[in-house]
Structure 1
Amino acid sequence: MQGTSDRPEATGQVADAVKGNWVDRLAPARTRPYLRLSRADRPIGTWLLLLPCWWGLLLAMLSDGRASWHDAWIFAGCGIGAILMRGAGCTWNDITDRHIDGSVARTASRPIPSGQVTAKQALAWAVVQSLISFAILLTFNPAAIALGVLSLAPVAIYPFAKRFTWWPQIFLGLAFNWGALLAWTAHTGSLGWPAVALYLAGICWTLFYDTIYAHQDREDDALIGVKSTARLFDHDTPAWLKRFLVGTVVLMGTAVALAVPRGEILLLVVALAAPWAMGWHLTWQLARFDRDDSDRLLMLFRSNRDAGLIPVLFFAALLLA
């Protein structure tokens, strides 16, 4: 029989955290609740926020053929900012969901419903993370700074979306893929249509992976009245995932076609291989989708780090060629 001290609610561990993660093993005990609020024990979300940033930056560099040391800072700044803003956004999400999370098996062990921190302490932590992230944003050009400030709107709205729409994943997509717009603009100085197409591709991708993720909570969400695309699509989910897959590939391909300079046929062909290869990874996920297997759902969701890295590797290889 499992001892009480082994349960997540007794040890402070979060039920769906990566087993043996560095927060549970190495972080000082007093910092663990705050790091768990920021999902430092579940890094996949940081990757999903970061990768569209790197898509936008690398595609912008391909579009004008320019590279500078400031681009290296944009690359690194996006990484630091993704950690901080994902942390701030998740903390805000847990504050707004504190009365819901306790009723859902997967989220009952989170720091606020399990009593590790108060809502006021969590709010202070969200502010600290946001202010540090804003300091990084100020190192970018004015247009990128303005976009960064505007990104707070979808971040603030997302936690409430599941209360008023069956499509909260769209609001997550609006927030999580904003970096494609910001990083493109940080390099070029202005927003462009390739970045917009890339942003829309990212939203389709988010609809794909977060619908898979939401199936883990389908039954609990139904009991407490929380909406999601997983509940909306139910048994039709594979057909909808296929649509989101196609949308991701077509829109990213459109972004590439708009970004690559005219006449660069070989560059265009190789760059278009990026969304094509990513599409094959999403096809692999779709073939293994099982709406009733929570372990597989979580595995497929986490595999989207690798899916999103595929365009990064293709675009980076073209820049280095």
Structure 2
Amino acid sequence: MTPRTQKPEPDGQVSDAVRGNWVDRLAPEFARPYLRLSRADRPIGTWLLLLPCWWGLALAAAVDGWRLADIWIAAGCALGAWLMRGAGCTWNDITDREFDAAVARTRSRPIPSGQVSVKQAIGWMFAQMAVAGLILLSFDWTAVILGVSSLGIVALYPFAKRFTWWPQAVLGLAFNWGAIVAWSAHTGTWPGLPAWLLYAAGIAWTLFYDTIYAHQDKEDDVLIGVKSTARLFGAETGKWLARFLVAAVCLMGLAVVLALGSSSGVLTLIVALAAPWALGWHLFWQMTRLDIDNPDTCLRLFRANRDAGLLPALFLACAGFL
């Protein structure tokens, strides 16, 4: 495929970024293309990578209580999520540069629009990974091993849309790995079954929100031969989203029950079990407003998943204080 040139948005802005974002307004001009490459002008991806980390940390803390060290784990996860999301997006844009040049929504991204060369993007990707690696090394060694082991999935994801109709599942495997890393950072042990169930709940959640996201590009995806669950499900999307909703709620609920069991107080268990129900309520709210043929609605609901993920994080965090 031959890349098509695209005139950049005014001042190099990316077309699907929120107008007036901090990168376009406040960042030094030389840094803007790199920050746009990392999606710093679109923070929702950082939230979606971070929130499963906080789920894992909070559920582990609900079992044996919060510790002073958890402040750094929570902050380290936030910094690491920002950096690794940026590195992942940079890798994605390097591998997808020809596809991005052929899709209306992505032509204004830094590489296809000519703001950043591939060589510069590779250097920026490794710089972000190096700093994220230093943060990871401050955690327990079990968490370090788990964190490093996720890199293979991250590297694979951009290619998934070329060979499977389920690239959203591959994204889920990568984006929710932080749940087990943060669990191990708190406990200092290999993640148990509750952590893995929480990870699985996150994968179901990712299938939900990224299917909605993929409906923005389905017409272009048909033309360039890119696969997605949005194309796979088509008019049956609502039924599949309902299945992902149920799976996310049940898996998270089971994780809570197995983690806390009879060893925790009744109030702690009730508050923790409010987490999956809160997630389910928000996902149901999204379904009632979804129009898969309206890209603006799809993008708005996709971004609403920051709040969908924050709700269970807050309930699980509160459970750890009881």
Per the normalisation by structure 2, the TM-score is 0.96
Find the aligned partners of 2:238 and 2:311 in 1 and give their Cα distance.
23
Within 5 Å, give how 1:171-190 maps onto structure 2: 171-190=170-189
Q: Aligned ranges for residues 76-225 of structure 1 at < 5 Å?
A: 76-190=75-189, 191-225=191-225
Structure 2 distance, partners of 1:86, 1:289, is: 26
**SS of aligned partner of 1:320:** coil
Per-residue deviation at 1:18?
1.3
Partner of 1:252: 252
How far apart are 1:11 and its partner, in Å?
A: 2.3
Which amino acid counterpart does residue 48 of structure 1 have in structure 2? L
Q: Distance in 2 between matches of 1:277 and 1:189?
A: 29
Map 1:26-45 to 2 at 5 A: 26-45=26-45
Matching residue of 2:293: 292
Q: Check whether the contact 1:291–1:297 (CA below 8 A) recurs between aligned residues.
A: yes
CA distance in 2, matches of 1:84, 1:211: 24
> Which amino acid is the alignment partner of residue 203 of structure 2?
I
- Which letter maps to 1:193? L
Q: 1:209 is paired with a residue of what secondary structure?
A: helix
Which stretches in structure 2 are left out of the alignment for 5+ residues? 1-6
Matches of 2:58 and 2:161 in 1, distance apart?
33
**Which residue type is aligned with residue 303 of structure 1?**
A
1:271, distance to aligned residue in structure 2 (A): 1.1
Following the alignment from structure 1 to structure 2, what is the Cα–Cα distance between the partners of residues 189 and 251?
23
Q: CA deviation at 1:312?
A: 1.2
Q: SS at 1:180's partner residue?
A: helix
Three-state SS of the structure 2 residue aligned to 1:216 is coil
Q: Is the 8 A contact 2:271 2:318 kept in 1?
A: no
Q: Give the Cα–Cα distance (whole angstroms) in 1 for the partners of residues 130 and 116 of structure 2.
A: 20
One-letter code aligned to 2:161 = K
The residue number in structure 2 matching 1:9 is 9
Whichever residue aligns with residue 281 of structure 1, its letter is: H
Q: Which runs of 4+ in 1 moved over 4 A?
A: none
Query: C-alpha separation between the residues in 1 aligned to 2:74 and 2:9?
Result: 38
Partners of 1:128 and 1:270 in 2: CA distance:
41
Answering whether residue 40 of structure 2 is matched by residue 48 of structure 1, we say: no
Q: Which runs of 5+ in 1 are unaligned?
A: 1-6
Shift of residue 268 of structure 1? Answer: 1.5
Deviation at 1:10, TM superposition (A): 4.3
Q: Aligned partners of 2:167 and 2:262: how far apart in 1?
A: 38
User: Residues 284 and 8 from structure 1, CA distance in 2 versus in 1: closer, same or farther, beyond 3 angstroms?
Assistant: farther
* Cα displacement string for residues 243-290 of structure 1 (whole angstroms, at most 9, x for unaligned residues): 000000000001101111424333222211110111010000001110
- Whole-angstrom distance in 1 between the partners of 2:268 and 2:63: 10
Q: What amino acid maps onto 1:83 in structure 2? A: W
Separation (CA, whole Å) in 2 of partners of 1:77 and 1:160: 29
8 Å CA contact 2:111–2:118 kept in 1: the answer is: yes
Q: Is the 8 A contact 1:64 1:261 kept in 2?
A: no
Report the alpha carbon displacement of residue 192 of structure 1 after superposing the two structures with TM. 1.1
CA separation in 1, counterparts of 2:244 and 2:204?
5
Describe the superposition over 1:95-128 as per-residue Cα deviations: whole angstroms up to 9, x where unpaired.
0001110000010000000000101100000000
RMSD: 1.0
Q: TM-score, normalised by structure 1?
A: 0.96
Taking the aligned partners of 1:196 and 1:68, their CA distance within structure 2 comes to: 22
Deviations 1:208-234 (A, max 9, x none): 000000000000000000000000000
Moved more, 269-278 or 239-248: 269-278
The one-letter code sitting in structure 1 at the alignment partner of 2:11 is T
